[in-house]
Amino acid sequence: MKDSKPMRQPSCRRIIWVAFAKLCTFPFPDAFLKLIGLSTQVRRQAWREKVAIFTLYILISGLFCFWLEFITTLFCDPPKTYDFRDIYTPSSHYSTINGQVIDWRKYGNSSEMTKQANKYPQLDLSPMFPTFMLLQRPTGQKSYNHKIIDACINGFNRSEQADNWLNYKLTHDPGYRFENGQLLSCPLPTHRNKTGAPCFYTLADQYQLATYPKKGGKSVSYDRLYIENNCTTVPREGVASGRAYVILDNKVLDVTDYLQGATNVVKVARDIYSRAIAVDRMFLPLDLTVMLFINLGKDITKSFNNQIPNPARYKECLNTLFYHGVVDGNTETGCAHINVALWITMGCFLLYFLLKMNLANLTRLKFVQRFLFQSRSSHLVMSFMPYTLLFVPFYSESAETIRQTVDSLARTSYPDSRKLLFFVCDGIVKSKSAAKDNYLCLLDALGYSSAKDPELRAYVSLGQGSRKVNFCKVYAGFYESGRNRVPFLMAVKVGSQREEYDQKRAPGNRGKRDSMLIVLSFLERCLNLAHNRISPLEFELFNQCYNLLGIDPRMFKYMLVTDADTQVQDDVVHRLVSRLEADPK
């Protein structure tokens, strides 16, 4: 039978998808696809859509990787350290002060400090900010202004040695000019043994320096191999080359100035010099001074903690006076703290997972039901509502349960003229609470009143051997419930005469799958009655449906299945059909 319905127009989404598929495969024209065996337009379009799906997969995967690898880095903390090679290069705008990295450009020449600092980018400005001036005490004052220095020096009766060391440093270092108790000039950052740069060491200078934020509050970093190979020499006075570094708790300490002042140069032979400890200028303990001197370029953390008395106090003192940076690997890099993008990503996936796991529970909420399952009646005009078959297989359910199920199906809001109740009774059985067979209880519930017993109609069932051929009785009529008058068909499996004496199984029983095949086979045969061979049962079903009920079985578009002990809401059929009609697939 030729379908009189017009061909469905492609939706906007379909048009866009086809265009996208062609865009993804534009290098492959139809002529090329014909050469590789895609002879029909349908096969070529299917191939293009497969390529488009693969392209979408690649794009989504790439976007996800881009999000994780790049976008998330925008929310990461900046690096905690800057490599000294990146700072002390001609292209750098940074400078360092006692191990801290500072970018002075944005401060301009707002003060004498920034004016002088901007003259020397890419250099270490630590000589202009001498920390050893913390050892200077006001005249007549026994304690030091800095608490850590006072605890380290006065706490161990080393103030006299500290004064001697400071006096020796200021009088023997050509880079510093000290007069009348004031430090007048400091070494130029470009020439460590040449004075001429201003000094910033007073309490006011310290406060001003603290107002200029360091580059993220970060330190300059050195690698251990560089320190081990290049920072093991205490230079003689007047010699600019050579630095003396040690590593303590992954921090780099520049002890060059201290060892220069706490030791004396001793000539051993021609052009060969050594150093001897100057006890009168050694404001740190002897064992600590010796440890620093013999371990230049090395990590002294383990020896320091095991051999030095009061290591915590001296550690604070060394960091205050000699801190010059950190070694690589001391601090974490990347997203060590809370990363907004990663948290958003995890939150989206977690929310999706929770919604999927609890979707069934969420749909029980009234406002969610109104949002998700609102019926779109605009899609279904009464005269265009498709014919729908409501299929109910039953076996041994009680009469009251069957009646409630039938009433709930009949009273649905779907039009009576567009739905058909189809029942299949799986054998002659009787429930414990019923006085007669179940199918007779259902007929009573449907209001069937004909006294004529239908003829047996054979069909090929799923049974084996003698049970291969089964027999059914077909009943048809209209079920009236309130204002509803719904057509119904009922097929009752009664089995052969031999099965009436079988005590193990009910006569006609073949299972629910067999019941499903009865209705599906019937609908499939109706699609082409001229060429399909039909069984006596299928012929009787067609005859009852077409001639008695006035419904052409070929008009059914949807079949909804429910159990005999399940009741449905009055709008469930309308909602399901509306959703199916709205789906272009």
Query: Low-confidence residues of the chain, pLDDT below 70?
Result: 1-8, 72-80, 213-217, 237-240, 329-341, 369, 371-383, 584-585
Q: Give the pLDDT of residue 378.
A: 45
Q: Which two tokens stand for residue 351?
A: 């929310």
What is the full DSSP assignment across 500-551? GG-SSS-TT---HHHHHHHHHHHHHHHTTTTTS---HHHHHHHHIIIIIS--
pLDDT in tens, 463-503: 888 889 999 999 999 999 888 899 999 999 998 888 887 77
| C-alpha span between 492 and 555 (Å, rounded) | 24
Q: Are 123 and 140 in contact (CB under 8 A)?
A: no
Computed on alpha carbons and rounded to an integer, the radius of gyration of the chain in Å comes to: 47
pTM score, whole prediction:
0.50
Q: Find the largest Cα–Cα distance for the chain.
A: 138
The Cα 466–Cα 508 span in angstroms is 12
pLDDT value for 533: 86
Rounded to whole angstroms, the Cα distance separating 318 from 309 reads: 14
Cβ atoms of 387 and 556 within 8 Å: the answer is yes
Where do the domains of the chain lie? 12-75, 82-331, 334-370, 386-582
Cross-strand pairs, 391: 422, 561
**φ/ψ (deg, to 5) at 164:** -65, -40
What pLDDT is attached to residue 213?
A: 62
The distance from CA 491 to its chain's CA centroid, rounded to whole angstroms, is 55
